[in-house]
């Protein structure tokens, strides 16, 4: 059974073909980083226009590379992200998916983008089965979720303010490093001392599973104001240490509270090398997707859609994307 996945929740256009539950035939991503870097972040109207330009040519390339000659006969399911995300971007993907589902007479599954991130690890690890904890960390999300079973999720905790990836972007902007901030800070941090600046670990003493990164961002700002001659490498390394420690402390707490020691980490920040290094010594078992599946991609959407289809879910053509859609 072949599932076509479509992902357009933010600024990456992506399509994928998945055979059954885990055999990824092909997936493609058209990045918009060059289009948005001048503005220091994603411009929603520009993002939706670029999706409109990219989606159909990308889909044609996918079908060619996978040697799909007769899509109505060879593709059996379409899965598309319907939220959360930017409304204009979501509309491009969902409208295309609805048109294809109607034209090809195949069922359609609307997929929560966050559930997609959970399935990026499912694609990569045969032994990852519920129950487990998942930490979703990206430019727009910082959530700890208990996966009781696929389709049954409980929110354990989320950020009060900035997502961790957003904090990386904002600190990079303070330092004049450009966009996206995460890879730039990680690169500069390799030459810095992570303990050079005594930045606070957010929510370190809180007994609840929640995050906050706005105060850490402000602490970086004041450190720079007090001493404009700080080495950029040291600022990046110290910020990265504090942000990652904040994440891992709350994972420790979630493992202690739930008694579940399997933790799947996904989202763009899951590609961070400092994070990947620091989880090595943890008592819990971490699952991480390959780097290419950390950021937004249609492979994870296809996997989540196929699983939902096997659970008996179907989506009507009348569904409306929800930019604020929650998972649990």
CATH number of the domain encompassing residue 141? 3.30.420.40
CA distance 109 to 34: 31
The answer to whether residue 242 is domain-embedded is yes
Q: What percent of the chain has pLDDT over 90?
A: 95
User: Taking residues 257-273, what's their average pLDDT?
Assistant: 97
Q: Are residues 286 and 140 in the same domain?
A: yes
Measured CA to CA in angstroms, residue 218 lies from 175, 187, 198, 199 at distances of 13, 22, 13, 10
Q: Supply the pLDDT for residue 40.
A: 85
Q: What is the pTM of this model?
A: 0.95
Q: Which residue in 221, 208, 133, 202 sits closest to 163, CA to CA?
A: 202
Q: Supply the pLDDT for residue 257.
A: 97
Question: Considering only 77-81, 162-166, 175-179, 220-224, which range has the smallest mean pLDDT?
Answer: 175-179
- In which element (H, E) is residue 48 found? helix 44-65
Measured CA to CA in angstroms, residue 154 lies from 110, 162, 327 at distances of 20, 21, 8
User: Taking residues 125-138, what's their average pLDDT?
Assistant: 96
User: Taking residues 11-24, what's their average pLDDT?
Assistant: 96
Domain range for 271: 129-290
Q: Supply the pLDDT for residue 215.
A: 95
CA distance 241 to 248: 11
Q: Which tokens hold the place of 79?
A: 């899965």
Mean pLDDT of the residues in the chain = 96
> Alpha helices of 194-315 — where are they, by DSSP H?
214-226, 232-258, 273-278, 298-310
Q: Supply the pLDDT for residue 73.
A: 95
**DSSP 8-state secondary structure symbol assigned to residue 4:** E
Burial class for 238, CB neighbours closer than 10 Å (0-12, 13-18, 19+): buried
Whether 328 shows a pLDDT value over 80: the answer reads no
Whether 25 shows a pLDDT value over 80: the answer reads yes
Q: Supply the pLDDT for residue 11.
A: 93
Q: Which residue in 94, 74, 96, 98 sits closest to 86, CA to CA?
A: 94
Q: Supply the pLDDT for residue 150.
A: 97
Whether 197 shows a pLDDT value over 80: the answer reads yes
The answer to whether residue 204 is domain-embedded is yes
Q: Supply the pLDDT for residue 281.
A: 84
Q: Are residues 261 and 299 in the same domain?
A: no
Q: Supply the pLDDT for residue 119.
A: 98
Whether 179 shows a pLDDT value over 90: the answer reads no
Q: Supply the pLDDT for residue 33.
A: 84
Number of domains in the chain: 2
Q: Supply the pLDDT for residue 178.
A: 87
Residue range 270-316, pLDDT digits in tens: 999 999 999 988 999 999 999 999 999 999 999 999 999 999 999 99
Q: Are residues 94 and 211 in the same domain?
A: no
Q: Are residues 264 and 250 in the same domain?
A: yes
The answer to whether residue 198 is domain-embedded is yes
The answer to whether residue 322 is domain-embedded is no
């Amino acid at each position: 059974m072949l599932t076509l996945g479509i992902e357009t929740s933010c600024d990456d256009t992506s399509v994928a073909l998945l055979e059954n539950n885990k055999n990824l035939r092909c997936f493609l991503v058209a990045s918009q980083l060059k289009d948005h870097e001048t503005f220091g972040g994603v411009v929603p109207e520009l993002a939706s226009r670029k999706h409109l330009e990219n989606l159909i040519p990308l889909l044609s390339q996918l079908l060619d590379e996978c040697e799909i000659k007769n899509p109505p006969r060879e593709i059996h399911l379409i899965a598309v992200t319907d939220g959360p995300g930017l409304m204009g971007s979501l509309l491009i993907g969902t409208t295309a998916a609805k048109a294809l589902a109607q034209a090809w007479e195949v069922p359609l599954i609307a997929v929560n983008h966050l559930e997609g991130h959970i399935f990026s690890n499912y694609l990569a690890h045969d032994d990852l089965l519920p129950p487990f904890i998942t930490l979703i960390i990206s430019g727009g999300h910082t959530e700890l979720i208990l996966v009781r079973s696929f389709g049954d999720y409980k929110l354990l905790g989320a950020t009060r303010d900035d997502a961790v990836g957003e904090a990386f972007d904002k600190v990079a902007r303070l330092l004049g490093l450009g966009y996206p901030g995460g890879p730039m800070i990680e690169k500069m941090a390799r030459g810095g001392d992570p303990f050079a600046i005594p930045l606070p670990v957010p929510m370190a003493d809180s007994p609840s599973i929640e995050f906050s990164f706005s105060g850490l961002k402000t602490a970086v700002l004041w450190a720079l104001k007090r001493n404009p001659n700080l080495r950029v490498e040291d600022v990046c390394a110290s910020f990265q240490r504090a942000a990652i420690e904040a994440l891992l402390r709350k994972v420790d707490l979630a493992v202690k509270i739930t008694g579940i020691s399997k933790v799947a980490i996904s989202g763009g920040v899951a590609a961070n090398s400092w994070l990947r290094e620091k989880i090595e010594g943890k008592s819990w078992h971490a699952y991480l997707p390959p780097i290419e599946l950390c950021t937004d991609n249609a492979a994870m959407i296809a996997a989540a859609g196929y699983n939902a289809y096997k659970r008996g879910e179907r989506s009507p053509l009348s569904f409306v994307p929800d930019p604020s859609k929650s998972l649990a």
